[in-house]
Amino acid sequence: MKLTTVWLNGLWDRNPGLIQLLGLCPLLGVSNTIDKAIGLGLATLFVLVMSNASISLIRHLVDEAIRLPSFVLVISALTTSAELLMQAFHYPLYQSLGIFVPLIVTNCLILGRAESLARREPLLISTMDGLAQGLGFFFVLVSLGAIREWVSDIIILATLPAGAFIILGMLVALHQVIQKLLKRFRSNTKSDSKRRRVRTTGEIS
Amino acid sequence: MTFRLALFGLIASSLVGVIYVITEPMIIESKEDARNKRLYSIAEPFLGEVKIGTPINKVLANDAPVSLNNPLPVTPINNGKLQIGAVVPFRALDGYSGTIELLLALDTERRILGVRAIDYEETLGLGDKIDVQKTDWILQFNGLRYVDLSPTAWAVTKDGGQFDSFTGATITPRAVVGALAETLAYFETYPEIVGSGK
């Protein structure tokens, strides 16, 4: 697996927030202000990078029977550490995030990456994947937070969970439109080159 | 394999343990900081040479309103040895979504120095306008004494009082004004609780 694919997947092609739709609970729960979104985005990024790295390191030591318990153990230890560090260094943020900090442990994005990638790939790829996926999630969370905070003065609905769903839906739709345009653009250039090649071979023969 | 899992558990819990030992004093300090910051923000007019003391629990008489805890933790604000004011917590039980926890700072003449909502579940964008971070609504109490207004004026305009409520949310400001009036009236009867004479 190439590093460029890892980065493209995390940030765009298989973005956790817009394509895989993983981690919806924090995505909708703490995106009402940009501060909270940044705080939880960073905490999730930290746990994801560390968990991908540690799971990649122990990947040869676990078999089928103890795989899941080991992964959950790693993730929960890291989440508790993140919780303690946040309380020590930024207590007001910890207070405003509330239950969503310990809930990082149940964010399916983290166990999802452990199961689908980190348990097979070497340390560098796994760490980079954690960083890419985490940043992909971070950007979606922060955009959602920014849009909701910005719109909330005009439309009260934006501050409510229903508004979060609607705005997330719009972001997903926007992503699909851009993806479609990109695909059309790519296939156009591809078919152009194909036609040219056919002509060349025709002339030679 | 069982042994390995136990080993992972041991490593993971020692990691958490080490971080806990390192961060524990910092966490205690941050909690204290957060409490002091709230108290300072409410006691702003005093800031400069004054000091916020440690809270003292005071047992209230039986006719204490439901808006006050019994015993009530009263935090004195001191200038040197002289007490020049106090901060007390109070709450409005009938908010739109449950209890609203507030802080009230009074000077020795029981003039309001500040009121702050510190913990509430009111609707975002509507009831949360009682938070000073959202609007200045709660600052309109500053400088008032209970005796400055007639008892009926301590209500929202909709109920014939003199304090505005927000469009779309009457219950929240009504609850806050009601609890505040109750609390202030009680301290007029028992001024010694907040450290001031009759």
- Residues of chain A with C-beta less than 8 angstroms from the C-beta of B126: 156
Higher pLDDT, B31 or A151: A151
- Using a 10 angstrom Cβ sphere, with 0-12 exposed, 13-18 middle and 19 or more buried, the burial of residue B192 is exposed
Query: Model confidence at B43, in pLDDT bands (50, 70, 90)?
Result: low
Residues A138-155: tens digit of each pLDDT: 999 999 999 998 888 888
How many other C-beta atoms can be found within 10 angstroms of the C-beta atom of residue B65? Answer: 16
Which phi and psi angles does B162 have, rounded to 5°? -115, 10
B interface toward A at CB cutoff 8 Å? 1-2, 4-5, 8-9, 12-13, 15-16, 19-20, 23, 26-27, 30-31, 33-34, 124-126, 168
Residues A192 and B177: their CA atoms lie apart, in Å, by 73
pTM of the model: 0.68
Q: Does A152 touch chain B (CB under 8 A)?
A: yes
Q: Which residue has the tokens 């501050």?
A: A159
> What residues are paired with B73 via a beta bridge?
B57
Q: Who among B26, B124, B168 is closest to A159 (CB)?
A: B124
For A93, A151, B63, B66, B164, the CA distances from B196, given in Å and listed in that order, are 37, 47, 19, 22, 30
DSSP letter (8 states) at residue B53: -
The pLDDT value recorded for residue B49 is 62
pLDDT at position B120: 79
Going from N- to C-terminal start, the domains of chain B cover 44-194
* The pLDDT of residue B33 is above 80: no
> Worst-scoring range by mean pLDDT, A111-125, B16-30, B41-55?
B41-55
Q: Are B30 and A87 in contact (CB under 8 A)?
A: yes
Looking at residue B124, its pLDDT comes to 72
Cβ-based contacts of A84 with chain B (< 8 Å): 16, 19-20, 23, 27
- Residue B40: the pLDDT is 66
- Is there a contact between A81 and B16 if contact means CB atoms under 8 Å apart? yes
Report ipTM (2 d.p.). Answer: 0.77
Digitized pLDDT (tens) for each residue of chain A, 205 residues in all: 788 999 999 999 899 989 988 888 888 888 888 999 999 999 999 999 999 999 999 999 998 889 999 999 999 999 999 999 999 999 888 888 878 899 999 999 999 999 999 999 999 999 999 999 999 999 999 999 999 988 888 888 888 888 899 999 999 999 999 999 998 988 887 665 555 554 444 444 4
Nearest to A87 among B2, B27, B125 (CB): B27
Q: What is the pLDDT of residues A27-54, one digit of tens each?
A: 888 888 899 999 999 999 999 999 999 9
Residue B58 has pLDDT above 50, yes or no: yes
